[in-house]
Amino acid sequence: MKKEQNIVLIGFMGVGKSVIALTLAEDFDYTLIETDALIEQRMNMPVSSIFARYGEEYFRRLETKELARLADIERAVVSTGGGAVLREENVAHLRKIGVVVLLTATPETIYERIYNDLNRPLLSGDMSIEGITALMDKRAAAYAAAADITIATDGKTVTKIAREIRESL
């Protein structure tokens, strides 16, 4: 890995971005940054309430602002929200921050991990394998285009996924 390169994790809800980011941050002694948490702190409300009260477009604008603010960070692992790659300007921000690692999982794996999670507003109307598949299909090209490295997470432990990422940097 290039010396002191930031790591940016992207991927669909439930691929494990947060937990993997935490592990990598500990491994490298880097700062952990969660863009959803930055947005929640700034708005002082959970992501689900931001969606409910102001809508997705508003949330996306906040997300873009937070990503832009991260341009100069160092020694950090950045865990993004699942929709962060949907705006091209966001992808430019992510690439500027560091190496972009895409985590993937099948819709079945995702469903197992998040079916009872209430803080996933985009799936609250259709929390099913079909709903996940449909949204994932819509986003597949955007994820692939943004990624420097892709790691499949199905059936792997956090330790193994983190090791694979470290080895591929």
Q: Which is nearer to ligand S3P, 74 or 126 (CB)?
A: 126
Task: Please name which of 11, 30, 14 lies closest in space to residue 22, comparing C-alpha atoms.
Answer: 30
Single residue of 121, 131, 148, 156 touching ligand S3P by CB under 6 A: 121
Residues 40-59 that bind ligand S3P (CB under 6 A): 47
The CB-nearest residue to ligand S3P is 81
The verdict on 82 binding ligand S3P (CB under 6 A) reads yes
The verdict on 36 binding ligand S3P (CB under 6 A) reads yes
Q: Which is nearer to ligand S3P, 4 or 89 (CB)?
A: 89
Collapsed DSSP state (helix, strand, coil) of residue 8: strand
Q: Which is nearer to ligand S3P, 17 or 93 (CB)?
A: 17
Q: Computed over its alpha carbons, how large is the radius of gyration of the chain?
A: 15
Specify whether the CB–CB gap between 85 and 13 falls below 8 A. Answer: no
The verdict on 107 binding ligand S3P (CB under 6 A) reads no
Mark residue 81 as left, alpha or beta (left: phi above 0; alpha: psi -120 to 50; beta: remaining): beta
Displacement of CA 75 from its chain's centroid (Å): 18
